[in-house]
Structure 1
Amino acid sequence: MIDYLSIAQNEVVADLGAGTGYFCQQFLTHTAAAKIYAIDLEPNIRIYLQRRFADVPNLTCTACTPTSPCLPDDVDLLFMANTYRFITERSTFLANLKQQLPEKARVVIVDFKGNHARVTPKMAMEEVIAAGFEIYHYERDSCPDHYLLSFRLAP
């Protein structure tokens, strides 16, 4: 997964729906990211993340809302693992993301692709395109239960 993301040295990564910080830790351990934002909706999760990463100067915990990622201005990569399917107002969320996403930033969604997926890969792709984004990569086969969808602002 980390190799797929191709995080360049000094890039700024936002982990939206960071949960307990699994991917934040992977970014810290296996990349040269300059800064990491752990973004989550749940206040108790943010408290946990702040405690877990209290000694990490380049990791900042921030809040999002159900309809907005609340992205900082310096993000190069927005990463969402097992999060997209829980966003109930996805069209509003994507409209807000489009307004907040820096011009050259990219977004990667990793989510469940199984028969009982709340949001199928096809639905996610249709929603992203309808919101004015451009899909530049879709991977369905590298993970047994998940798909990877990479997109950016449409030119």
Structure 2
Amino acid sequence: MILDRDIPSVGPLTIWKPPDPERYKVNVDSAVFKHRKKAGIGVVIRDETGEVIVALSKIVNAPLGAGEIEAKAMEDRVSFARDVGIREAVFEGDSLIICKALQGDGGAPSSIQNVLDGTLDLTSGLRSFAFSHVKR
């Protein structure tokens, strides 16, 4: 028998919230496979009803660390959203450092600054966008 006290607490749940009408929410996750010297990126774009509009998964054949793959994942999600015709979006990520840097509210490590600059350049094709941090 499992009792509530036997289950470790992991903190409050994060519940997905839909974007405002006429906008899309772009979520991403990434993973590092050190032993294979690869990383993976997954992107999901949803509308205001929560319906998945389009998704992407890909392997990055490079030995990137967690910060670098998170930065690359953010760049890929903005690029992917533009490629599929999204022009108004909220880009959610779980890296506080990256989200703050893209919001202009904090510096980023020099190892990822060029990628973040490229991400901001990609937003020039969007009518409206925001970067939002979510706890996972």
TM-score w.r.t. structure 1 length? 0.36
Query: Which is bigger in relative contact order (C-alpha 8 A, separation at least 6)?
Result: 2
Bigger proportion of residues as helix: 2
